Amino acid sequence: MGSRAKLILAAAVGCAFLLAVLLATGAVIGAGLEGEEHALFSAVLERRLGAVLMVVLVACVFLFLILRATHEFLVLPAARAAEEASAMLEEPSTRLSCQGNSELLALIAAVNRLAEQRQLRDKDIEATIRAANVAAEADRNRFAVLMSELAQGVIVCNMDGRVLLYNRRARALFAGAAGQGMAALGLGRSIFGLFDRHLIAYALENINVRRGAHRHFVAVTESGRLLRVLVAPILEAGATVAKGEAPEAASGLSGYMTMIEDMTETFDSESMRDQLLQDLTESSRGPVGNLRAAAETLYDYNDMSAEDHQRFLTVVRDEAEGLATRVETAARTFAAVLKSRWPLEEMLGADLLTAARSRISDRCALEASIEDVDAGVWIKVDGFSMLQAMTYFAARLRDEYQIHEVKLRLSRDGAMAHIDLIWSGVFMSTETVMQWELDALTVAGESSPLTVRDIVERNGGEVWFQRDHASYRAFFRFLLPAISAQDAAVTAVGVALADSRPEFYDFDLFKGEETGLALDDRVLAQLAFTVFDTETTGLEPSAGDEIIQIGAVRIVNRRLLRHEAFEQLIDPRRSLPPQSTKIHGITAEMLAGQPPIAQVLPIFRAFVADTVLVAHNAAFDMRFLELKEAATGIRFDRPVLDTFLLSAVLFPNQETHRLEAIAERLGVSVMGRHTAVGDAIVTAEVFLKMLPLLADKGIRTLGQAREASEKTYHARITY
């Protein structure tokens, strides 16, 4: 029973007791009177009944006010202190608020001093544990680094198919348009969202674990990429599988690893090569037959007329020329195929210029600087060979024209990137430039059989010399293909995540889950959650307000996965009120060109698949989603938890349950407020802090959390 309910009950009991005392007093007085005295007493009482009732009412009100003041001064501060003390168990840095009478204040001060001592002791213990775990954590991080940098995609799963490790390459392979890859691959997600369940089951069934064998299969992604997948089992230490026993039936098998290789380009080039050979063979049969027939005729009939002899020679010439043309065309086409198979890497053009500046300065003793760079240009090149080409040109400028300073410049023109090597004061002839392009590279004692032209062609580009008479400068321009914005976005995701490799694995997921239980009976700590937030045009979803941004992060195994996030601006197809912009900072210009809600909701629905939804004041966000069901056909039927209602369960005596107040209460830093992802991250951190507090109250399962939330007064709020 809550403290306010106790106050009301105490007031009711007090008033009932006061009324009973008055009635008993009247009954006792009336019982001692006889005759005229009793009649007089009854008449007086009847005449003054209203006054008596007024006195009784005033007495009851006075009693209630005394009880309420006592409750607010003695009971409520103690109840709030108890709630704050429970939060202190989860976040030792928080302290009890100083409120209440002097005795309670003394107790609170003593508790805060104990908390200080406990925090100091916990810090010492944590330092000891941290030092003991350094070696183990270093090994795990080294392993994560190695996995992250592999050229092949790696995904490790437990026997339920839940992903517990993946690397950057795997993430890039399954990154689709508009972030669909983010929804498909992530810690705790099922690998069967990427590959057909039967393919993996077949591979596992045919693995002889005792001999350390593995199996391959080929799969095709939704985007049409052709993948070659190796499946290898993971055994617990000392475990083996009996002969004839399926690996997944073995008690010692804890999971499996898949290594994924993109075969699309290789398959396409080999198919083109095979097609070239077949076309060359088929197209050569006729000419070769004609040549053979003409040659045999000329050999067998020496006495033929001059006219016939000339006619057969013409046939030989024409067929030979046609055959030579076919062979030359096939050779050029095959050379283009080989060039496309040259290993190229995606990189920022600015990074290539930085490396070139350093290499030219070190190898050529030239002063090299970067003049102007378009920081958003991505290119796909063989970085080392391009550095060789630029360094070679710089060295020849120094040796033959005594150039002591060069500048580097990067710009973009449509689908091509321009990298310019610039110098001042000396021009050269076109013949000299062509000779430099065709000479073998030799720089600082390093030589290469390749020429500058070979390198540029292998990178799919061009190079030329250009004069700028106005500034009395000249430059070599390397024209290289710039990769598309979508490919650059995928690459940028991988680069951005390079410093967060620990987010790519969670070996605790090897432990089995209670998958046999109904969802409401599952323990909260074992569930996967998607914590989300929306920004809108206003606060009235039923009156036409629309979602303009959705942000979400995932929680798996009680870990907040910040980099497995969803963030998307949405065109509301209506005007944006200025007062809403003041809150979230999103302008109409930012929403121009963004996808409508009908395109975003299917992707967001895939992102939240198989998870429990969490939001602060979830009724507001869910109402917007519910109103879109009829138009989009997308229904969010996952269970929902509301940190607003859970706060009311944990802290019923607190005056406010705003997100900022809860975060302060639980020691969570508030950053990025009123942005969808920022609010989602704060809500997720608050929710993680709430889990042990809910367990302390006996709320351990999803069903118990939902039931407790529905019983709160705030659950009546609707939109």
> Which two structure tokens, joined as six digits, stand for 464?
């030329």
**DSSP character at residue 596:** B
From the list 669, 689, 701, 710, the residue with the least C-alpha distance to 531 is: 689
From the list 184, 138, 137, 168, the residue with the least C-alpha distance to 501 is: 168
Other beta carbons within 10 angstroms of residue 456's beta carbon come to: 21
Identify the residue whose tokens are 């705003």.
658
Integer Cα distance of 295 and 288 in angstroms: 10
Active-site residue, 674 included: yes
Q: What is the largest CA-CA distance in the chain?
A: 173
How many residues can be counted in the chain?
Answer: 719
Integer Cα distance of 137 and 351 in angstroms: 31
Runs of H (alpha helix) within 256-305: 264-300
Q: What are phi and psi of 343, to 5 degrees?
A: -65, 115
Q: Please give the full DSSP string across 357-383, using - where no structure is assigned.
A: HHHHHHHH--EEEEEEE-TT-EEEE-H
Integer Cα distance of 233 and 204 in angstroms: 7
> Which two structure tokens, joined as six digits, stand for 650?
């944990």
**DSSP character at residue 650:** H
| Residue among 214, 418, 674, 714 flagged as catalytic | 674
Q: Region of 433 please: left (phi>0), alpha (psi -120 to 50) or beta.
A: alpha
Start-to-end CA distance of the chain, whole Å, equals: 29
CB 422 within 8 A of CB 433: no
Angle at 562 between CA 560 and CA 565, to 5 degrees: 115
| Active centre residues (catalytic) | 674
